Structure 1
Amino acid sequence: MATKSQVINFSLKCEECGTKNYYKKKNKTIKEKIELKKYCPKCGKHTLHKEAKL
């Protein structure tokens, strides 16, 4: 498991409306951006969410 210094916080931003809906943690050594299909309460449907800064 990663130590506390190797974990970074980030948010997931909806690609359609631009709101930040989810907040996650990941290991600092993972360089690729995370993209997940999640539910957006503002849009009212499942949309693509991409990693964004806090």
Structure 2
Amino acid sequence: MGIQDNSALILIDLQQGIHHPKLGRRNNPLAESHVSALLDAWRQSGRPVIHVRL
């Protein structure tokens, strides 16, 4: 099963605020590189990207 042509990628609250020292060490150190790769591939597909900042 593939991704529908009318699908959109929604990225919610991905910002530098998650690096606050009071939050402790992260359990997902590769998150940025994975999101970046996904975003690059999605943009190449020509589908819409929606950024939401809360």
TM range (shorter): under 0.3
Higher strand share: 1
- Which is greater in Rg? 2
What's the TM-score once normalised by structure 1's chain length?
A: 0.23
Asked which structure has the greater RCO (Cα within 8 Å, sep 6+), the reply is 2
Higher helix share: 2
